[in-house]
Amino acid sequence: MEAMGWGRYPKTTADLIQPVDSQALQKFISSQKKSASCISRGSGRSYGDSALSAQLVSSRFLDSFLELDEQQKVLRCGAGVKLGDILKVCIPRGLFLPVLPGTKAVSLGGAIAADVHGKNHHLDGSFCAHVKQISLVLASGELVTCSERENTELFRATCGGMGLTGVIVDASLSLDSIPSSYIDQRSLVANNLRECFEHIQDNADSKYSVAWLDCLATAKNLGRSILYLGEHAPSKNRRTDTLYRERSHLGVPFSTPSFLLNKTTMSLFNTSYFGVQKRKRRSTTLGCDSYFFPLDSISNWNRLYGPNGFLQYQFVIPSEGALEGITSVLEKVSENGKGSFLTVLKKFGEANENLLSFPKSGYTLTLDFKNEPALFPLLEELDRIVLAHDGRLYLAKDARMSEEVFKASYPNWERFMSIKNKYDPNNRFASLQSNRLGLTQ
């Protein structure tokens, strides 16, 4: 089968293995030749090649809800369960996932493997901060349990480890209580990047915080943006306020022609969007889908970037150099005319102890770029800016980072390798990305 990530670049041919339960998974892994490699694949929502290999092990049938303790607020379920399905079960019970990425289509196993973050990292950390226990099939076929207290080094390598330590079978995680399924949103207009930083800092106690930026604005308007702040809305009617209402979906039936995406059309879109949002009401109440997953209402929105796909570029820079570094990135992007419809800025809290987790204290910027040959030299220039400011790129979004950039920006990669070599000496678990980054051969 042809396989690709959400960015639709790169593409490869792979065999898809779909074990029906953990026993079938163990049998498959233990029967593999030492020279064969595979990687786990959940919903295919990582953007690049982190879930691509000659053999893909699907978590499709590892999708059972195993236990929900409503009193202790702990859920245990299979790695193939999607976050959206967890919300369907939990919200009517007044419970909620503590961390949500930008799409609910991510599988639980994928959320752990990428240690995903949300709009509340500055307060609540990343997804794995709320994971209590993981069941993992190792390269030997053995099923083991790991947590902060049991097999701790394996736990720290698995959380954010991009599937390179084994196949996640199921996990237990803590949940939060919520008063309703709605979010009270406030929006603040920033006329430039410095003003946006000030708004974010002044509202550091807001539960959720994310800014949309016009990445093609220049000069005094560089970084003009809309900051969206959110809090869980109080309940007005207990019977209806915890109902989970999914949004209706539009769809993109085919890939749009690449020439439609250019500096002119993107500049028009960004200018129009900024103008419309600037005139809107500053406060509103939204359903959780509308606030957390705005793009999920458009099925196959990745086709909008054309048949060659797109690359998402996400980096983090520590706070002390963030304004300067992100300014340099935006100037370089605008100068090259490679604008993005989706440019998002968030503030991160402190880093955790997971060896390959992306977030660290600072600011993270995300941009989407149409895949074209002229893009890659620009991304190399952006890499140099990020490294010069002690930043790093997100592995779950990466499709082309060099080994040198990776090893210069992830200081714990050697500790990760020592643990991987201990549990997987023959690199049974490897991806196109791990080969490219020098983590596997």
Give residue-wise pLDDT tens across range 380-411: 999 999 999 999 999 999 999 999 999 999 99
What is the model's pLDDT at position 342?
83
Alpha-carbon distance 79 to 137, whole Å?
12
> How many residues make up the chain in this entry?
441
What is the model's pLDDT at position 256?
58
Helix, coil or strand: residue 113 = helix
Give residue-wise pLDDT tens across range 161-218: 999 999 999 999 999 999 999 999 999 999 999 999 999 999 999 999 999 999 888 8
Q: Is 70 exceeded by the pLDDT of residue 37?
A: yes
Quickly tell me which residue has 């790695």 as its tokens: 79
Question: Which sequence spans correspond to the domains of the chain?
Answer: 182-399
Tell me the pLDDT band of 352, cut-offs 50, 70 and 90: very high
Strand extents, DSSP E, 147-246? 167-174, 176-177, 182-190, 208-213, 225-232
* Nearest alpha-carbon partner for 170 in 131, 214, 220, 209: 131
Q: Around Cβ 414, how many Cβ atoms within 10 Å?
A: 10
Helix count and strand count (H, E) for the chain: 14, 22
What is the model's pLDDT at position 258?
61
Q: Is 70 exceeded by the pLDDT of residue 241?
A: no
Return the half-sphere exposure (C-beta side, CA atoms, 13 A cut-off) of residue 162: 29
Q: Residue 223: left if φ>0, alpha if ψ -120 to 50, beta else—which one? A: left
What is the model's pLDDT at position 341?
74
272 vs 85, more confident: 85
Q: Which residues pair with 82 in a beta bridge?
A: 107
Q: Is 90 exceeded by the pLDDT of residue 263?
A: no
Q: Is 90 exceeded by the pLDDT of residue 27?
A: yes
Helix, coil or strand: residue 187 = strand
Sequence-ordered list of residues with C-beta below 8 angstroms from that of 388, at least 6 positions apart, any chain = 325
Tell me the pLDDT band of 340, cut-offs 50, 70 and 90: confident
Sequence-ordered list of residues with C-beta below 8 angstroms from that of 134, at least 6 positions apart, any chain = 112, 145, 146, 147, 155, 158, 159, 168, 170, 171
Give residue-wise pLDDT tens across range 133-158: 999 999 999 999 999 999 999 999 99
Q: Is 60 exceeded by the pLDDT of residue 254?
A: no
Q: Is 80 exceeded by the pLDDT of residue 237?
A: no
- pLDDT above 90 covers a percentage of the chain that reads 82
- CA-CA-CA-CA torsion for 275, 281, 282, 288, nearest 10 degrees? -100
Give residue-wise pLDDT tens across range 290-309: 999 998 888 888 888 889 99
- CA-CA-CA-CA torsion for 78, 79, 81, 82, nearest 10 degrees? 160
- The Cα-based distances of 129 to 10, 117, 119, 174, 362 in angstroms read 31, 10, 15, 9, 18
Cβ proximity of 69 and 172 under 8 Å: no
What is the model's pLDDT at position 248?
54
Q: Is 90 exceeded by the pLDDT of residue 278?
A: no
Helix, coil or strand: residue 112 = helix
What is the model's pLDDT at position 247?
60
387 vs 244, more confident: 387
pTM for this one? 0.95
Q: What is the chain's percent helix, strand, coil content, to nearest 5?
A: 35, 25, 40
What is the model's pLDDT at position 239?
53
Mean pLDDT estimate for the chain? 93
Residue 7 in tokens: 């960015």
Give residue-wise pLDDT tens across range 50-64: 999 999 999 999 999
Give residue-wise pLDDT tens across range 419-438: 999 999 999 999 999 999 99
Determine phi and psi for 65, rounding to 5 degrees.
-85, 120
CATH class of 182-399: alpha beta
Give residue-wise pLDDT tens across range 77-121: 999 999 999 999 999 999 999 999 999 999 999 999 999 999 999
Cβ proximity of 119 and 127 under 8 Å: no
Alpha-carbon distance 58 to 42, whole Å?
6
Alpha-carbon distance 36 to 321, whole Å?
44
